[in-house]
Amino acid sequence: MRIAIINGPNLNLLGKRETDIYGNKPFEVYLDELKKQFPDVAFTYFQSNIEGELVDELQRVGFEFDGIVLNPAAYTHTSVAIGDAIAAIKTPVIEVHISNVHAREDFRKLSHVSGKSVGSIFGLGMKGYEFAVRWFIDKN
């Protein structure tokens, strides 16, 4: 099974960035744990701070892979293009947010991604990625 993990802007700073909200762990460290936990899953990981690159990656993995775990970060709340890309591809997407976006500023309550995704997970920390992967495995 092939699963793509895609992270949006500023998530390259996990472990350093607003650690009270996002925790102390760099994503690469978490990804290694995830790979060990799911040895039968072939993961790809892509992070970008650039909206169009995230659209390109969704299109690249969106027809062959079994699942996409997507945290579009701030673009969640602004990007019609990422929402349209999810609608355009065949691979199902699960939207993940580390923090509880509904318990923060009002602008974080709008998502251009939720309505195009099979489901959304928010507020469960990095574990959200694990739960999303588990869903893709269990659904088969």
Give the residues lining the site for ligand DQA (CB under 6 A). 10, 71, 73-74, 76, 97-99, 101, 108
Please give the helix or strand (H or E) that residue 77 lies within, else none. Answer: none
**Minimal distance in Å, beta carbon 85 to ligand DQA?**
17
Taking CA atoms, 116 is separated from 3, 26, 94, 131, in Å, by 18, 28, 9, 19
What letter does residue 98 receive in the DSSP assignment?
Answer: S
User: Which of the following is catalytic: 30, 75, 97, 112?
Assistant: 97
**Minimal distance in Å, beta carbon 62 to ligand DQA?**
20
User: Which of the following is catalytic: 22, 30, 75, 129?
Assistant: 22
**Minimal distance in Å, beta carbon 22 to ligand DQA?**
7
User: Is 102 in the active site?
Assistant: no
> Nearest-CA neighbor of 66 among 91, 37, 29, 41?
91
The smaller minimum CB distance to ligand DQA, of residues 124 and 137, is found at 124
Torsion of CA 131, 134, 138, 139, to 10 degrees: 70
The smaller minimum CB distance to ligand DQA, of residues 62 and 128, is found at 128
Instruction: Please list the residues that pair with 119 across neighbouring strands.
Output: 94
User: Is 97 in the active site?
Assistant: yes
> Nearest-CA neighbor of 117 among 72, 60, 65, 52?
72
Catalytic residue positions, numbered: 22, 97
